[in-house]
Amino acid sequence: SSLKILLLVFILWANWELLAPYIAKDTPNPFAPLLFISHRIPDTPEDDPCYQKGYLDLAFLAYYIVFWSFVRQTITVYLCRPAAKWFGIRRETKLDRFGEQGYAVLYFAFTGVWGLLIMRQLPTWWYRTEHFWLEYPHWKMQPQLKTYYLMQASYWCQQLIVLLLGLEKPRKDYNELVAHHFVTLWMVGWSYLINLTYIGHAVYLSMDIPDSVLGLSKLLNYIQWHRTKTATFTVLLVVWTYFRHWLNWVMLYSVWFEFDLMPESSKQWSPKDGVWLTWWMKYQMFAPMLLLQCLNLFWYFLILRIAWRYVFARHFEVSRVLT
């Protein structure tokens, strides 16, 4: 179904591109905002265009929610299920879980690398948090940053729809996952609205890289590659600690203590000028990031519990052999 919707929009866009020069010359393609980012800033050069936010971003968001539905189904059904069966997995529940984690690994690995490449072009590399606020508002976006932001938002919206509609079997941490999706959309959506795209991008990156390693660790657990699974879990522990906790605390520190680094002219509520950061906005940014850290600590506890049980089990096994 999602493929049919995607193809219909693409065909309508392509037909307009082919026929418009003869029928409605110089008339913008009404289907273009669904496939491509909109609201280019007119006075930016052709070889280095910049974009701002606008209402047509909602059309792009809607189209790519459908796009991620298609990608998710394609990867889980046509790639991951055959791979799982090849590894000897037969139970339907495990086949579904293997597909979900396989999709997560591919998605987060892709967006993690993409996010790194974008951050290398920004003054915030590597988490130079003072640039979250200097020269605010950051309303002019490079096309890569705007596309990345909206593609990520569409992914999280699609995943939230999957959870709320019960399209995948609920996990034990279902409530925490739903809360995590709401907090993520609150934080990055609000940061996009008020032109704090640098900090929103940094939050995305801090989540994606450890999530790719987490998904890989789960896949290895399903196929019972014990040594590789142990090594990957060790890497996960380090990566998760650094990205999901240390860097999150770095960003929380920045929101609380570096907020006033922005220009004095930006410390007001004036949406028409692109500035929104009156004094109480510090708390509006700090609250979802703190909630995200609380959720991260919940999963960190589960990861540490697994590590403790593994170490304790290994110690017990060694002791039993020695005695």
Short-list 146, 154, 148, 152, CA closest to 50: 146
pLDDT value of residue 214:
92
Q: Average the pLDDT over 7-16 and give the result.
A: 94
Say how far apart CA 180 and CA 156 lie, in whole Å: 10
Q: What value does the mean pLDDT take over residues 2-27?
A: 88
Residue 212: name the closest of 90, 82, 112, 279 by CA: 112
Mean pLDDT of 90-119: 93
Q: What is the C-alpha to C-alpha distance for residues 236 and 241, in angstroms, rounded to an integer? A: 8
Look up the pTM and report it: 0.90
State the pLDDT at residue 180.
85
Closest CA to 181 of 158, 154, 160: 160
Which residue is associated with the tokens 């520190």?
Answer: 253
Average pLDDT over residues 187-215: 92
The answer, yes or no, to whether residue 91 has pLDDT greater than 60, is yes
Which whole number is the average pLDDT over 191-209?
Answer: 92
Q: Residue type at 146?
A: K
pLDDT at 62: 95
Structural domain spans, the chain: 1-33, 59-322
pLDDT, residue 313, reads: 63
Q: What is the pLDDT of residue 267?
A: 87
Burial class (CB in 10 A: 0-12, 13-18, 19+), 176: middle
SS3 readout for 80-112? HHHHHHHCCCCCHHHHHHHHHHHHHHHHHHHHH
**Average pLDDT over the chain, rounded to whole?**
89
**Residue 312: per-residue pLDDT:** 66
The widest CA-to-CA distance across the chain, in whole angstroms, is 88
Comparing 254 with 164, the larger pLDDT belongs to 254
Question: Could you read off the pLDDT of 37-86 as tens digits, one per residue?
Answer: 999 998 888 888 999 999 999 999 999 999 999 999 999 999 999 999 99
Asked whether the beta carbons of 64 and 153 are under 8 A apart, the reply is no
Record the tokens describing residue 109, joined without a space.
Answer: 């690995």
pLDDT at 57: 96
Position 149 scores a pLDDT of 94
pLDDT in tens, 277-323: 888 989 988 999 999 999 999 999 988 988 888 776 654 443 443 34
| Percent of the chain clearing pLDDT 70 (strictly above) | 96
Q: Which residue shows structure tokens 């002791």?
A: 319
**Based on C-alpha coordinates, what's the Rg of the chain?**
22
Q: Is 168 helix (H, G, I), strand (E, B) or coil?
A: coil
Query: Are 263 and 138 within 8 A, CB to CB?
Result: no
Query: With contact defined as beta carbons under 8 Å apart, do 67 and 58 qualify?
Result: no
Residues 243 and 214: beta-carbon distance below 8 Å: no
pLDDT for res 22: 80
Which DSSP helix (H) or strand (E) runs through 287? Answer: helix 281-322
Q: Per residue in 16-35, is it b (16+ CB within 10 Å) or e — as a string?
A: beeeeeeeeeeeebebbbbb
Answer whether 133's CB lies under 8 Å from 258's CB: yes
- Tell whether omega for the bond before 137 is within 30 degrees of 0, i.e. cis: yes
**Residue 100 near residue 77, CB atoms below 8 Å:** no
Task: Say which amino acid occupies 313.
Answer: A
Tokens for 179, please give them: 């809360």
